[in-house]
Structure 1
Amino acid sequence: MATRRGGGSADSLDADLRGLDALQTETRTSRAWWRRLVDGALPPIVLLVLLVSAWQAYTVIAQPRPDLAPGPLDVAAALGQAWESGRLQLAVTTSLERGILGFLIAIAIGTPLGLLLAESRLLRRAFQPLLSGLQVLPSVAWVPAAIIWFGLTDATVYFVVLMGAVPSIANGLVAGIAQVPPQLRRVGTVLGASRWQLATTVVVPAALPGYLAGLRQGWAFSWRSLMAAEIIAFGGTIGFGLGSMLQQSRDLADLAGALGTILVILAIGVIIELLVFAPIERGLLRRRGLTGANA
């Protein structure tokens, strides 16, 4: 078989790489989408029902003070009042908009940064310790400085979100690229891939598991950073988000409202995981024929 060097087109390279990937992929029986949805959503729903039932049973049996230990019905009533007043819809919409937009900006910054560090050993040695330190640093530590720099504006919130998410995304991509087998790079070179084709068609797809882990961690950090920023940076021109709603409940000593807001924040995080990251991970595993693709 003749060896192609330098003249391979992008289409032929993609076809060859898909063929190599197919050699490692086991034949699996595909399941209906609704079956996968039920299998993924049913266990957490059952667990949630059990936890709420145990919570309600405790309030009925122990009968604690409602202001110190409100029951599920009290929390539901507080959320119902927030819904009727429109505060809950406004808070959820504002926080989701900030969280998603901030996360997308973090991807746009963290991805090329991760590629640059992965391909340059000198830059990686210089910057990766700093990125790791920023990843460990609690994002809430940036809030006071951000308020001084940007005032009580949305820029403060977005800055804190970016400082929480960008290091995780960049480090995840660097770690994923570091785990790419050298043989894949050699195969791409032999098949005629240019430097750009090698990076976009061979290295990045092979590094997707690590990159996905970085994205997942980046979203978790951005969501937590957003809540911390909204709780502390309250007032001014900053919109009313879930963190502001939580702070307002604390000021009013409304524990039922605070617990309800916490549950909404938790529910959004779980929904994002179940509807976005978990399906992407299952699809990625299924394409590679790895164990757990049908989990």
Structure 2
Amino acid sequence: MGDARPASTAPSRLRVLSWQALGLLIIVGLWWLVTDGLKLYPPYVFPSPRAVWTEVAYGLWGTGPQDGKLLGAIGGSLRRVLVGYVIAVLLGGVVGLLMGAWQPLRATLGAYLTGIQSVPSIAFVPFAILFLGLNERAVLFVVILEGFIPVALAVSGALLNVPPALRVAGRTLGARGVGLTLRVLLPAAIPSVLTGLRTAWSFAWRALVGGELLIAGAKSLGEQLEVGRNTANVGLVLATIIIIGIIGGLFDLLLRTVESRVRRDYGLEVPQ
């Protein structure tokens, strides 16, 4: 008899990459057609791909008014978001563990955090500035807040979704209280926690850029957006937006890869 293994219906990684590359070529082609081809908009309103690429080249390695400024802005923004994200993960992890283990805290603080999460991050920027001043601490406050809430809620929810059989097995083997949470429930909840960490990254990254728009003189991507606005340089604005999207996407891909690997190790995902 022949092999009766079911054929995988998931597309290969190479095929997905080819689709993504084709989609990018279509977008850039339409962009070029609207700007350089049909000239539907003047360059100072909607610049061409070549003009935006020129701004990227000047900002990263070229010579010109923006020589090296984008590269410095990337370094400054990454430093802030990584510091804020690490703090948010540590605080959110501890609070999430407490909410998962103690029902009164989950019913009160958990409900408040869910409500706060619905507030756009930019709404906290004025409060942070008035409370901490117009400086990096205000930006870190917003980043930590936006990253902390998804982590805390994800950890708490993941602990509650652990199968009851694992709780019974842990108690049968003598695990109680903190030991049961740390040695049985938390390891079982890791795949769901990683999903929360990925969500927290996206929230923190968006909050960072919004906060940086208000910090004058600091090396940041938000400052580059403000410089482009003040000088009516739409090319610089679009170049900065593209870089923000690329960095955010790369970090999300890294976290998604780790999450997928863990899910395969837990038997929750079939290797392709």
Distance 1:45 1:134 in 2: 38
Unaligned runs of 5+ in 2: 1-11
Partner of 2:257: 279
Alignment of 1:139-288 (within 5 A): 139-235=121-217, 239-274=218-253, 276-288=254-266
Asked whether the 8 Å contact 2:93–2:152 carries over to 1, the reply is yes
Distance 2:151 2:42 in 1: 45
Asked whether the 8 Å contact 2:101–2:181 carries over to 1, the reply is no
Aligned residue type for 1:193: A
Asked whether the 8 Å contact 1:110–1:169 carries over to 2, the reply is yes
- 3-state secondary structure, aligned to 1:234: coil
Runs of at least 4 residues of structure 1 off by over 4 A?
A: 36-43
Aligned residue type for 1:71: S
TM value normalised by structure 2: 0.88
Alpha-carbon distance change, 106 to 208 in structure 1, aligned in 2, over 3 angstroms: same
Task: Pick 1 or 2: higher relative contact order, CA cutoff 8 A, min separation 6.
Answer: 1
Partner of 2:24: 48
Asked whether the 8 Å contact 1:99–1:226 carries over to 2, the reply is yes
Asked whether the 8 Å contact 1:75–1:259 carries over to 2, the reply is yes
Partner of 2:117: 135
Partner of 2:43: 66
| In the alignment, structure 1 residue 82 sits paired with structure 2 residue 64 | no
Q: Deviations over 1:82-113 (max 9, x none)?
A: 22311011000000111111100001100000
Q: CA deviation at 1:181?
A: 0.9
Deviates more, 1:60-69 or 1:211-220: 60-69
Alpha-carbon distance change, 40 to 198 in structure 1, aligned in 2, over 3 angstroms: farther
Q: Deviations over 1:207-237 (max 9, x none)?
A: 12321121111111100000000012334xx
Distance 1:257 1:189 in 2: 59
Aligned residue type for 1:55: W
Distance 1:193 1:218 in 2: 31
Q: CA deviation at 1:291?
A: 3.9
TM value normalised by structure 1: 0.81
- 3-state secondary structure, aligned to 1:224: helix
Distance 1:221 1:262 in 2: 16
What is the RMSD of the two structures over their aligned residues, measured on CA atoms?
2.0
Distance 1:128 1:293 in 2: 35
Deviates more, 1:156-165 or 1:283-292: 283-292
- 3-state secondary structure, aligned to 2:213: helix
Identity of matched residues, %? 32
Q: CA deviation at 1:38?
A: 5.2
Equivalenced residue count is 256
Asked whether the 8 Å contact 1:176–1:211 carries over to 2, the reply is yes
Asked whether the 8 Å contact 1:143–1:233 carries over to 2, the reply is no
